[in-house]
Amino acid sequence: MRIWDVEPALLCRNHLLGEHRELHAVWSIITRNKQGYKNHPETRRWRGKLAALYIRHESLVREMARRGYRHNSPLNSDLAVGDDGQDLLLDSIDEQLAILESRNCGCPYDR
């Protein structure tokens, strides 16, 4: 499970769509108080920061639209409460970029 902290435009197709899917999982775990993955580091770092998670979702949606994907899974903005910024990183931005580049998947995407 991974919510990247890099600009969505840098993500290849698989990472962009994968992050979108995983973001929905984190959102569901937190907003519905689900037990599965509730203690995962990625889930824990977004607790109290649903506004920031909502903002990240919207940036992913904009990038998906730019690439021609149709989006049909909006988040409930009424639940977007808490901090509107994420300052807790599991890896630094430079480390995240290095991880993405090492996967030879097309990240960082720049088209």
Q: DSSP readout, 43-107?
A: HHTTTTBHHHHHHHHHHHHHHHHHTT--------GGG--B-S-----SS-HHHHHHHHHHTTSSP
Give the integer Cα–Cα distance in Å for 46 and 31. Answer: 11
Flag whether pLDDT at 111 surpasses 60: no
What is the pTM for the complete model shown?
Answer: 0.94
CA atoms within 13 A on the CB side of 83: 9
How far is 44 from 36, CA to CA, in rounded Å?
12
Per-residue pLDDT reduced to its tens digit, 5-55: 999 999 999 999 999 999 999 999 999 999 999 999 999 999 999 999 999
Q: What is the model's pLDDT at position 56?
A: 98
Tokens matching residue 68: 């021609």
**Domain segments of the chain: what residues?**
8-102
Q: pLDDT tens for residues 54-66?
A: 999 999 999 999 9
